[in-house]
Structure 1
């Protein structure tokens, strides 16, 4: 949702910001032992644009924008907003597939995934977007082995008269953001982890993450909370992110400067 994430329109290959926060020495030790998990947002982070927005703009009835306004004004939660909007999509599965196959991703994400694989770091996509959209886009770019935690697209039913509907397997009644996917709940079993994101749905989870890579709105959010932390600019690409950050950790730096 464009209003939901509001990514910077200049470029999605903007510089990435590294925010080194709590438990730096412990993070270093766990990384060296290859026991760390990397959680990565999808829309605007891996993909260059918000894929759900693109689909809605192309195939949904115009009412989706009024629903968006209700969410922006705080009248409905993110989860309710998403479900109502998905029900407005009028497209066959073949049409959706053809459109999703045109979506671009950050070209260096593949190099980043390769780095994680070689380093023995678990990599998962955690998104408040739509699982089918994400998996289709990743598959188009020959990426099939990453776990995806997201809202679940399903066929609509006769009762709703909708072609599509949405389920929320990762929802939480205690989610402060009212999201379909409570990212905080998803990552909470991991003691030390890296979080990569770009937008509003990443704010809560980034507040608790030991290490955050951020761009766009999330970078601004991290800066506003970084008075007692070390904030460093690294390469704008996923590959540069992996090289600059992980090399500095393995060199033994308690903080990344």
Structure 2
């Protein structure tokens, strides 16, 4: 039986040109955030710990200006609407699997025809003195990375014997998912990591390249 293709697409630095969390931190520059990023990258703390700690540097009273900045300064990567059109035309399920935060992920995706239950991201609360990040999609028993929003947990819900699992991503949050996927589209840090680990991948800079590669593969499989 032919497997059903399903796409798991990162958001920050993939659907958007820039990493929105990093952009927020660079713009508002709360003291200590660069040290937290370094500790995430050298894996001395988990992604969940690091992202939570970075946003905890902000008083909740700054919610409106942070939300406004993140939405007004994000740019969608070229070719994204066309990729969604292609997926819809060919019955390919498309999921957004994001380590980003709800207050910018949902508004930026609102113009596009993606069902809310196909969008996975972290939550946020502004009820306390500082911004608190919430984690509605934690790691299952098979993941020990403490991802926060665990992409591999979601991918495992689609068994490899029934689905061709396609990952599109760019960063540290996509490393583990790339090990599970049957097809990887990579750029930036993910591309380097795939090279290091010997994981086959297709490089991309715009979603036009992703759509073209999917179309070519579909024709070759007939």
TM-score by shorter chain over 0.5: yes
Q: 2:186 maps to what in 1?
A: 214
1:62 CA displacement:
1.2
Q: 1:122 maps to what in 2?
A: 93
User: Aligned runs of 1:213-232 on 2, under 5 Å?
Assistant: 213-226=185-198
Match of 1:240 among 184, 189, 209: 209
* SS of alignment partner, residue 114 of structure 2: coil
8 Å Cα contact 2:186/2:202 also seen in 1: no
Q: Tell me, which stretches of 5 or more residues in structure 1 are unaligned? A: 1-25
8 Å Cα contact 1:151/1:166 also seen in 2: yes
8 Å Cα contact 2:187/2:205 also seen in 1: no
How many correspondences in the alignment? 213
The answer to whether the aligner puts 1:182 opposite 2:150 as a matched pair is yes
Q: Report the structure number with the largest CA radius of gyration.
A: 1
Q: 1:199 maps to what in 2?
A: 171
Shift of the 84–114 alpha-carbon distance from structure 1 to 2, 3 Å rule, reads same
1:105 CA displacement:
1.5
1:173 CA displacement:
6.1
Tell which has more relative contact order, 1 or 2 (C-alpha 8 A, sep 6+).
1
8 Å Cα contact 1:87/1:156 also seen in 2: no
Match of 1:152 among 123, 146, 156: 123
| TM-score calculated relative to the size of structure 2 | 0.84
Q: Tell me, which stretches of 5 or more residues in structure 2 are unaligned? A: none
The answer to whether the aligner puts 1:113 opposite 2:81 as a matched pair is no
8 Å Cα contact 1:135/1:144 also seen in 2: no
